[in-house]
Structure 1
Amino acid sequence: MDKNLIIDIVKGSIAEELEIEKGDFLISIDGIKINDCIEYRFLETAEQLELEIEKKTGETWIFEIDKEMDETLGIIYENALMDEVKTCRNKCIFCFIDQLPKNMRKSLYLKDDDSRLSFLMGNYLTLTNMSDHEIDKIIEYGISPIKVSVHTTNPALRRLMLNNKNADKLMKTFEKFRDTRIEIDCQIVLVPEYNDKSELSKTVLDLFNLFPVIRSAAVVPVGITRHRQGLPGIRGLTKVECRESIRLINEMQIRFLEEKGTRFVYLSDEFYIKGDLELPDYMEYEDFHVLDNGVGMVRVFEREVDEELRKIKKKRIEKRLTVLTGSLAYDFMCEITAKICDYFKGISIEVIEIKNDFFGRDVNVSGLITATDIINQTKDRLGSNVLIPDNMLKKDENVFLDDITLIDLEKSLGISVKPIEVNGHKFVREIIGE
């Protein structure tokens, strides 16, 4: 890409001071044409640099800039990657995108496997389509942390699960990072009768042997929708299998804690909820490196609510609200809202569980709830104050997975619906109206 369109400027930034504007183009930094966002981020860290900008009038402006190493230019580009997204070449037996029904938003069907998205947005990649040059670039530029979907370190099993002949090179790739500044967070999607039990134990141990380059591993249960026609015959985990996995990981955590001072591997909250066992204490999640995998989210939200309640004086508030949530968090949200109602007398909160008929009842997280299911299950039974977690909507857009907008949902229900961030502090403040 020869030119990168600038779509916004951060207020108070270097770019604003230099009168760089929306509609201008970035041409180069230090005479180097920018190939992608990683190159840009690396060049941007220099304390002295030459910036070439093409104004929307066609003029070329060149700036000599002195700045702090950690100070950004404050430029936002039309394409955050500054290049085409590298798509996934795998055909994983458990791929959630392959289980989507037809006629959804086109963007939902994009399978990315791009190291730049791992760095920028926390997306997970498999490393199966990464060249030696790209790996060297990650090491040279210090791109860290990166997120890697591992699933298994057994070469033959990984080839089978990812359906990719290059999937067996994972450990060799990891070895290249061993003596670098790079940190890696790993993900294991657990599929019963494939990579569980002894295979899971081997995978976690192999990853732990690369600590601290690999700083953590998250284990999440496979997600199964009702749209698996023509796909491999896999199933979800049972209650017994969840408990077996918890026992296995607990034993490994004890060993790792003694050897390296870290538990290293963590199970997503769903294991404990489905296994009907108490979740680990807040402190057992350590640095919450893999929170985005649903690991420790319950304890974080609970801690945030408790902290917020301690800040606010008890008072009586006459108010009625309804909170919509998925099946997985339903019991927890009932407990949390009961605590809030007990603290603020006069508040009444009804929590409604939205069962996932769109994807199938085995899909239980709030982030995969559709407007269709909300309408079908709540029409004519909601009050005026309705709250939903904002992860039901596309980031930065008020549209659900089934392409129904928030406005359309409100019209269908005849009430206003307010999305709120999944954050305990903000949840409490929203409920009491502050």
Structure 2
Amino acid sequence: MTDNGLLITDVEEQSIAEELGVKPGDRLLAINEQPVRDILDYRFLCAAEELLVKVTTQAGEVWELEIEKEYEEGLGLDFGEHSFGATRLCHNRCLFCFVDQMAPKMRETLYIKDDDYRLSFWQGNFVTLTNVKEAELQRIVDQRMGPLFISVHTTNPELRARMLNNRFAGNIMDQLSKLAKASIEMHTQVVLCPDINDGAELKRTIEDLAGLWPEVQSMAVVPVGVTKYRQGLYNLRTFTQSEASQVIDLVEGYQQEFLEQWGDSFVYASDEFYVMAGKPIPPTENYGNFPQTENGVGLARLFLDEWDSIKDDLPRRISSNHRVTLVTGTSGAAILQQVVDGLNQIKDLQVDLEVVKNQFFGESVTVTGLLTGGDIIKALKNKNLGDAVILPSVMLRDGEEVFLDDVTVSDVADKIQTPVEVVDGPENLVEVLLGTKA
């Protein structure tokens, strides 16, 4: 995003823009005398049927193009990686920030702290709204940017300012109320820290956010992550089993109340809390339409439901002996054990569950998605792993076979001297085990 509009990187064939002579390398400056700052402005302003489009060509000429089109018809312009310009970065110094606890010398993208309300709307990123001015809040309203995903953490103004180390953080309820009044859909999260924003503070936050239902559609409560890289940072700890159980009891009490009032649970404890507490994952009906799976809420239930849907159709035996090792992190062990026990009922199939502790970030980090390739190699090397090792896809960078530490799946296979398969859920796991994978 610049004062000179958006750089056009591609023009669709037979589009309105191509017919008018617009070419890659030109810049889109304005539509109907409104500056085009990013892709959101472009999409919003293009919705009109009559447009006055201002473009500057590579030769420096300024064109004003009068266009009549159908409401849903686009102009055929693409801006590539320039669609948003520079990402807006976080100005908070949250006492629980996971990025501040990242190991040194990792790839640069892992240290980026984005806090961009546009990416919240576009990609579902959680943002704090602390860097959103009044004019930008109005833009969200005017352009109907919903749903938004908002990190609240607490609705106590003084406590939020302290937790985020930002004096502008305390007006969150005013911001949320303005958005709710304009019927902007929102989903919220609370990173819960023991002795800080739990207990009575959590009750206050649940009640305040529930007061903005149905515009605030959901609230996820997730435990703070604490790595071994906290030198010089705020002294945080993880929840005990008893404390995790208390959090669940509090959340489920409110869930029951909201289900009776609205037919919607509204507030959810993350799967990790249930694992910490040693409690069973709630039934499907408790999760509504599963609004916060990206936050680790309900993923275990979806996994178990998928397993339940296929387990009765499994064969009694396979044609030849087959042994594999299935890898998981600490928090996934209890969930996967149910699947492993079921698979081991198939004659001539043996599935061993290997629980790998996180040495890279520290053993207090238990989620499977934060295991590194290096830790997996250390845990499996020189072991008899059978015919193959199976890894859950959550360990890998989206769309790639690369772990957080930049170790690849091929690297793991080479080091442990065993073929490696990556699976996505119980059905895919069974396909791999039975040789029916397409």
Q: TM-score range by the shorter chain?
A: 0.7 to 0.9
Deviation at 1:246, TM superposition (A): 1.2
User: Residues of 2 paired with 1:383 and 1:312: CA distance?
Assistant: 21
Counterpart-to-counterpart distance in 2, 1:307 and 1:20 = 50
- Among 346, 364, 367, the residue aligned to 1:365: 367
- Residue 24 of structure 2 aligns with an amino acid whose one-letter code is D
Helix, strand or coil at the partner of 1:79 = helix
The 3-state SS of whatever aligns with 1:24 is coil
Secondary structure of residue in 1 paired with 2:81: coil
Report the counterpart of residue 193 of structure 1 in structure 2: 195
The normalised TM-score by structure 2 is 0.87
> 1: CA distance between counterparts of 2:129 and 2:397?
27
CA spacing shift, 1:90–1:45, aligned 2, 3 Å: same
Question: Match of 1:387?
Answer: 390
Whole-Å separation in 2 of the counterparts to 1:314 and 1:74: 56
Name the residue aligned to 2:227: 225
Match of 2:90 among 88, 91, 101: 88
**1:224 and 1:363 in contact (8 A); partners too:** yes
1:316 partner SS: strand
Question: Which of 404, 420, 429 is 2:431 aligned to?
Answer: 429
Tell me, in whole angstroms, the C-alpha distance in 2 between the residues paired with 1:223 and 1:313: 41
Indicate if the aligned counterparts of 1:37 and 1:116 stay in contact, CA closer than 8 A.
Answer: no
One-letter identity of the residue aligned with 1:377: A
Residue correspondence of structure 1 range 134-173 to structure 2 within 5 A = 134-173=136-175
In the alignment, structure 2 segments of 5+ residues that lack a partner are: none
The Cα shift of 1:366 comes to 1.2
Q: 2:134 aligns with which of 132, 135, 138?
A: 132
Q: Which amino acid aligns with 1:431?
A: L
Instruction: State the partner residue of 1:204.
Output: 206
* Equivalent residue in structure 1 for 2:183, among 173, 181, 184: 181
| Partner in structure 2 of residue 12 of structure 1 | none
* Aligned residues between the structures: 424
Partner of 1:349: 351
Q: Distance in 2 between matches of 1:82 and 1:185?
A: 23
Query: Aligned partners of 1:346 and 1:26: how far apart in 2?
Result: 65
Residue by residue, what CA displacement relative to the aligned partner does 1:242-291 show, whole Å, maximum 9, x if unpaired?
A: 11111111211122222222111000011111111122101110011111
Moved more, 74-83 or 256-265: 74-83
Q: Distance in 2 between matches of 1:314 and 1:30?
A: 65
The corresponding residue for 2:338 is 335
Q: What code does the residue aligned with 1:24 have?
A: P
Deviation at 1:36, TM superposition (A): 1.6
Describe the shift of the 1:3–1:206 C-alpha distance in structure 2 as closer, same or farther (beyond 3 A).
closer
Shift of 1:16: 5.5
1:158–1:168 Cα contact (<8 Å) kept: yes
Residues 48, 311 of structure 1: alpha-carbon distance in 2 compared, 3 angstrom cutoff: farther
What is the alpha-carbon distance in structure 1 between the residues aligned to residue 66 and residue 313 of structure 2? 48
- 1:418 is matched with which residue? 421
Q: Deviations over 1:62-104 (max 9, x none)?
A: 89685673x7778765327421111111111111111111101
- 1: distance between equivalents of 2:209 and 2:202? 11
Name the Cα RMSD after superposition.
3.1
Distance 1:380 1:243, change over 3 A: same
Partner of 1:24: 24
Distance 2:16 2:422 in 1: 36
Letter in 1 for 2:205: T
Offset at 1:345?
3.8
- CA distance in 1: counterparts of 2:82 and 2:419, whole angstroms: 33
Cα distance, 1:147 vs structure 2: 0.6
Equivalent-residue separation in structure 1 for 2:17 and 2:211 (angstroms): 48
Match of 2:292 among 281, 290, 293: 290
> Distance in 1 between the 2:51 and 2:312 partners?
48
| Paired AA for residue 368 in structure 1 | L
| Superposed CA offset, 1:285-323 (max 9, x none) | 001111111111111011123334467776635433222
In the other structure, the counterpart of 1:324 is 327
Distance change (3 Å), C-alpha of 1:17 and 1:397 = farther
Q: What whole-Å deviation, never above 9, does each CA across 1:376-430 have from its counterpart, x for those lacking one?
A: 1111223342221222222233322112233333332333323333x34333333
The secondary structure found in structure 2 opposite 1:346 is: strand
